[in-house]
Copies of this chain bind each other. A is one copy, B any other.
Amino acid sequence: MSVVESVLGHQLFEQFDAFLFDADGVLWLGGKPINGAIDYLRYLVDKGKKVFIITNNSTKTIADYAAKCKKLGFDMIQPEQIISPAKVVAHLLSMHKSDLPVYLVGSAGLQRELMQEGIESFGVGPDPVQNYTNSDFIHEIDVSRPVRAVVVSYDVHINYVKIMKAINYIEQPGVKFIATNEDATFPGPNPKVRIPGAGTNVMAVQYPAGKEPVVIGKPARPIFDYICEKFGVVPERTIMIGDRCDTDIKFGRDHGMFTMLVGTGINSMDDVKQFERQNRPDLIPHYFTHSLKHLLDTM
């Protein structure tokens, strides 16, 4: 018998002012909205609740995300209700005035998000090893262009050159080392295929660098601080609703919020029971629901 409570929609509605939703596996799967998600979010927004989408995916800009929301039917969500590590990295860097660019191991979307806060970056796209060596080794790498920070995120073009540039920049005095998030893998259209996530790149840089980055995304603190400061969210009156225990539930638990696992994505109650046996209270949600549709039906 698990300690996790099933919960009805009206109980949540009364208990909380702010509802934070993970996206993939909660609101949509790939390109399709999950049954009930659109209507549940519309209900909460119409009744004056604070509603946010908190994603770790930093390959898109917030504008790209807002367009996706609109296209899928989540037209009640405004761009400022969507928060990603890309947004928070850009915000944090913009608070420290500097003309120096960022060396970015990341996507063009992350680069555009940084640019919207006036932060220049370089490094996006392929950087073929063949341009640097024909042998097994690169003994020198050009890190003469000054940078303010190294930002590591998801980057399909990760390779030896980028890792080597990143670690040699991180060695320079005053250069910050920032990671958008540490997700090991992410879900794709074929559930049997493992797809390396941003955390793969983060580990590939932090291990030879011998230094740990400031991590922004769930479950780390910076994205939580951002929400609190920007939107006056009160943790005790806030619930984080997600499909992954190691990011979403841990994020809520670590920062004093309530948490709910929804059974339409990665983790199930079987996983939760295993975390209970492993004595991992940080991974155990306060509540469980099979779907957002069930919550709506029990308002």
Interface residues of chain A, those whose CB is within 8 Å of chain B, are 59, 107-109, 126, 128-130, 133, 135-141, 154-160, 163-164, 167-168, 171, 184-185, 188-190, 193-197, 199-201, 203-204, 207-210
Question: Contact at A194–B168, with CB atoms within 8 Å?
Answer: yes
Closest to A171 in B: B194
Instruction: Give Cα A107 to B139, complex, Å.
Output: 16
Which listed residue, B130, B156, B193, B204, touches A200 by the CB 8 Å rule? B204
Question: Contact at B159–A158, with CB atoms within 8 Å?
Answer: yes
- What residues on B are CB-neighbors of A157 within 8 Å? 129, 159-160
Query: Interface centre among A59, A138, A207, by most B CB within 10 Å?
Result: A207
Question: Contact at A196–B154, with CB atoms within 8 Å?
Answer: no
Instruction: Give Cα A190 to B142, complex, Å.
Output: 13
Question: Contact at A194–B207, with CB atoms within 8 Å?
Answer: no
Given contacts A136-B156, A140-B190, A184-B210, 11 further A-B contacts (CB under 8 A): A136-B154, A139-B188, A157-B160, A163-B200, A164-B195, A185-B208, A194-B208, A196-B204, A197-B208, A199-B208, A200-B204
8 tightest Cβ-Cβ pairs between the two chains A and B? A204-B204, A196-B208, A159-B159, A203-B207, A139-B188, A203-B203, A200-B208, A184-B208
Closest to A164 in B: B196
- What residues on B are CB-neighbors of A154 within 8 Å? 136
Which listed residue, B135, B139, B155, touches A190 by the CB 8 Å rule? B139
Instruction: Give Cα A200 to B156, complex, Å.
Output: 17
